[in-house]
Amino acid sequence: MEPDMTPFSAPPATSSRPRLVVIGNGMAGIRAVEELLERAPDLYDITVFGAEPRVNYNRIMLSPLLSGEKTFDQIVINDLDWYLKNHIKLHAGDPVEEIDRDDQVVITKSGLSVPYDRLLIATGSMPIVIPIPGARLPGVVTFRDVDDVDAMLAASAKGGKAVVIGGGLLGLEAAVGLKARGMEVTVLHLAGHLMERQLDASAGHLLAKELERRGLTVLTSADTAAILGDAHVTGVALKDGTNLPADLVVMAVGIRPDTRLAAAAGLEVGRGIMVDDHMVTNDPAISAVGECVQHRGACYGLVQPLFEMAKVLADHLAGKQAAGYPGSVTSTKLKVTGVDVFSAGDFSGGPGTEDIVFRDAGRGVYKRIVLQDGRIKGAVMYGDTADGAWYFQLLKAGEDVSGLRDTLIFGQGFASREGGAANPTAAVAALPDTAEICGCNGVCKGTIVKAISEKGLTTLDQVKATTKASASCGSCTGLVEGLLAHALGGAYEAAGVKPICKCSDHDHDTIRRLIRVQELKSIPAVMQALEWKTPDGCHTCRPALNYYLLATWPGEYVDHGASRFVNERVHANIQKDGTYSVVPRMWGGLTNAKELRAIADVVDKFDIPTVKVTGGQRIDLLGVKKEDLPAVWADLNGAGMVSGHAYGKALRTVKTCVGSEWCRFGTQKSMEVGVNLERMTWGSWTPHKFKMAVSGCPRNCAEATIKDFGVIATDGGFDLLVGGNGGIKLRGTDLLTKVTTEEEVQEYCGAFMQLYREEAHYLERTAPWIERVGLDFVKTRVVDDADNRRALHARFLASQRHAQVDPWAERAPGAPAARDFQTLATVE
């Protein structure tokens, strides 16, 4: 949920505090304000006007916002507290519509009139909309702000087909995001290969193949003739006669500087607002910065030049004598998870240039360095972009790389070998202080090193909080950690990420996210795409990967039995003497004569030495020989009894008291509620064991307050409790919510279990999971958002039983063939 944007007051202007008005609450304008506050925090009374009803956020993180990898809160750069702390008056959602230069006043859409002494225009750019029939139909959107993302999310929630017109940076990020949301996506690109301004044909071809592998359709040399539809878009027509069906069309063909306000005010305008080297327009009281400006004939649409402009402008506004803005050499990265693309400079080649090319088709790696007069003129990298910052720095500095000619293509790590081995820490340490480390937030090496030294930073999270480096897309995390390691030496431990095991550098959350985003649907595919260090994994990662694939692709992924622990393979618990324990399920702790006779017969027939009533209100048969397991289960199946999953990372038991059916204190039918809950939930794999209980009154005889999901009946309904745990580390439950009907109990239970299934780490119980993510995280998604709760519950019902097939049903002598647990669960 986005915050309320009600403006708050700033100190009144005085003769010693001139009034600075900023038109634009985006990345360029607010970065200039940030730089100014560092130089002269009390110099101006500052008022900011933003067209969007939001605080300042990172626009280049719209792609992860669309795909679901980030939330809006995670892409906010400056929250409301920042404006308040710095005495900045924010008018969000009230754009300036007129600049009166004679009276030095701006007038907003709401009619507000605000005077200025200095004015900063940072209106950014406008998306280009191709002037073709149907371009303004409902269902045609651009991709420039959060409103566009919201429109795409609303469309993707209905499913269907999306066509993205434009195979540049924004178009591809939109396409991958929509694919992650479940839409069928086709990318149309006019040029012969994708991202032709940033990539050469070879890299563009590799990129197209990777996107097609992910399920996108890519059509190059595709010229759009019209968008079809009457009341809503229905398709896209190409000039070659091809018609493509579409429920959503994303126009991502480029941007142009937004000069409308400046032009109406009589400022000098070309393609952008004309500025000098200090970012001042032809009116000395008015400056401009960002995508809206034109400087020395150039307009920039990337974030790095915007940040460089902001520094120069801040020096000027603060009255500091400093060098002007000379223009920018730019580099580009594609913000699509798992697709590493980097380019910089001019890679067109031509007379007087030479190429150094490296290809590794098996790894999907391509590098091309363009040299001229012994210096790097341009660089293109696909698949391995680790050395992008180094090449870019050499390019900007104009350094002669003739001495590195033979090894240049292998990167800085090769050039920085110590003792014959590549030393990444030495490589990043060798970069100059001016080298840009974090492109998303414009943070150079010197800023990070200074912060580490002066503020005593020791962790990646501290560097993120202080400098913003690595706080957005995360592609520079390795460089930042390299700086930490260099600065702290042996005292630094990369504690920010805990790998799943020794086989991988990725943590659980990253693996789960990449499985979803890259559509990885087998254990070998995960290991290949995520560069596993061992060929087959180990006993730690294989069960986890098997679970994550099951939870992510229910109905598609086939459970890999060899990646399960022995207990789960044989549906029984191995004991210390090598025999097994068999625990048939008893719904809600209830049984009957037929089941008891079947258990007694099995005990006699197979000479089972020990029969015990468990704490989960079931009967445990201990001492079963492994070779007898198929026949034991066949006999129990014949009586309608299925596994109680006493061994499983799954629902174990639903413990109940007798409730109002028998107890004089009972307020609700706890046995009935418990049985129905168990029948609904018993077939799903979960990150760890999952236990439930239903107590018929607040006396809590079923011990619901130490279960993963507990229900306590009251006179008015039911209290729903989560996150309890018995055992070594006792944890009482938290109250999730109160409901009035059994149907609500089931809906909340299914939604909670599905959220746990989708978000928790493998082998993480609900208790530590809730302590890690916070109860508010769960409540926001299960209690506060009814639509999301219903969606979670629906996904749970659709996916819970696909893996639960009785392994003995086909093998047991005389047993009925292919009987699954779902069918058996309905047997009375």
For the structural domain made of 140-253, what CATH number should be given? 3.50.50.60
Handedness of CA 553, 383, 496, 417 (dihedral sign): positive
Outline where 416-560 has alpha helix (H): 424-429, 445-455, 460-467, 477-488, 508-517, 523-529, 541-552
Amino acid making up residue 799: S
pLDDT band at 337 (very low <50, low <70, confident <90, very high): low
CA-to-CA distance for 208 and 580, rounded, in angstroms? 53
Confidence category of residue 2, pLDDT binned at 50, 70, 90: very low
> Which residues are known binding-site members for siroheme?
701
For the segment 18-34, the average pLDDT, to the nearest whole number, is 97
Query: In the block, which residue shows the tokens 């679901």?
Result: 68
Could you tell me the strand order of the sheet in which 580-582 lies? Answer: 573-574, 580-582, 619-624, 610-613
What's the CATH code, domain 19-125+257-317?
A: 3.50.50.60
DSSP string of 42-93?
Answer: TS-EEEEEESSSS-EE-GGGHHHHHHTSS-HHHHEEE-HHHHHHTTEEEEET
Average pLDDT of the chain, as a whole number: 87
186: left (phi over 0), alpha (psi -120 to 50) or beta: beta
Between 361 and 740, the higher pLDDT residue = 740
Give the pLDDT of residue 12: 44
Top CATH class of 567-638 equals alpha beta
pLDDT, tens digit, 9 for 90 and up, residues 245-297: 999 999 999 999 999 999 999 999 999 999 999 999 999 999 999 999 999 99
Q: Give binding residues as ranges.
A: 657, 663, 697, 701
Residue extents of the structural domains in the chain: 19-125+257-317, 140-253, 508-564, 567-638, 651-799
Nearest to 624 by CA among 564, 575, 569: 575
pLDDT at 484: 87
Residue 807 reports pLDDT greater than 70: no
Judged against a pLDDT cut of 50, whether residue 462 lies above it is answered with yes
Which pLDDT score is estimated for 420? 38
pLDDT at residue 8 tops 70: no
Please name the helix (run of DSSP H) or strand (run of DSSP E) that holds residue 203, with its range, or none. Answer: helix 201-213
Q: Which residue has the tokens 């809950």?
A: 677
Comparing CA positions, the residue from 735, 695, 693, 725 lying closest to residue 710 is 693
- pLDDT digit string, tens, across residues 650-670: 999 999 999 988 988 888 989
**pLDDT score for 422:** 46
Determine the average pLDDT of the residues in 223-234: 96
Asked if residue 813 has pLDDT above 70, the reply is no
pLDDT (mean) for 482-499: 71
Q: Tell me: the pLDDT tens digits for 556-567?
A: 888 888 888 878
- Which of the four pLDDT bands, split at 50, 70 and 90, describes residue 357? very high
Whether the CB-CB separation of 279 and 293 falls below 8 Å is answered with yes
* pLDDT at res. 819: 33
The answer on pLDDT for 437 being more than 60 is yes
What local confidence, expressed as pLDDT, does residue 828 receive?
A: 25
Instruction: Provide the pLDDT for residue 808.
Output: 43
Please say if the pLDDT value at position 190 is more than 50. Answer: yes
Q: Is 614 helix (H, G, I), strand (E, B) or coil?
A: coil
Question: Which of the four pLDDT bands, split at 50, 70 and 90, describes residue 582?
Answer: very high
Q: Is the pLDDT of residue 672 over 90?
A: yes
Q: Do domains 19-125+257-317 and 651-799 have the same CATH topology?
A: no
- pLDDT for residue 811: 38
Amino acid at site 134:
G
pLDDT at 826: 29
Task: Tell me the pTM.
Answer: 0.64
Burial 264-281 (b: 16+ CB within 10 A, else e): ebebebeebbbbeebbbb
Annotated binding-site members for [4Fe-4S] cluster: 657, 663, 697, 701
Q: What is the pLDDT of residues 375-408, one digit of tens each?
A: 999 999 998 888 888 898 899 889 999 988 888 9
Collapsing DSSP to helix, strand or coil, 638 comes out as: helix
Specify the CATH architecture of the domain 651-799: 2-Layer Sandwich (3.30)
Confidence of residue 433 (pLDDT cuts 50, 70, 90): confident
Helix (H, G, I), strand (E, B) or coil at 738: strand
Q: Where are the beta strands (DSSP E) in 122-190?
A: 125-127, 140-141, 161-165, 184-189
Q: What are phi and psi of 730, to 5 degrees?
A: -75, 135
pLDDT in tens, 678-725: 999 987 889 999 999 999 999 999 999 999 999 999 988 999 999 999
Pick the range with the lowest mean pLDDT from 205-209, 412-416, 541-545, 584-588. 412-416
Q: What is the mean pLDDT of residues 746-773?
A: 93
- Ranges assigned E (strand) in 136-192: 140-141, 161-165, 184-189
Which pLDDT value is given to residue 493? 58
Q: Parallel, antiparallel, or unpaired for β 709-714 and 690-695?
A: parallel
- Burial of residue 521 (number of CB atoms within 10 Å: 0-12, 13-18, 19+): middle
Percent over 70 (pLDDT), the chain:
91
Of 64-68, 426-430, 730-734, the least confident = 426-430
- Between 647 and 333, residue with greater pLDDT: 647
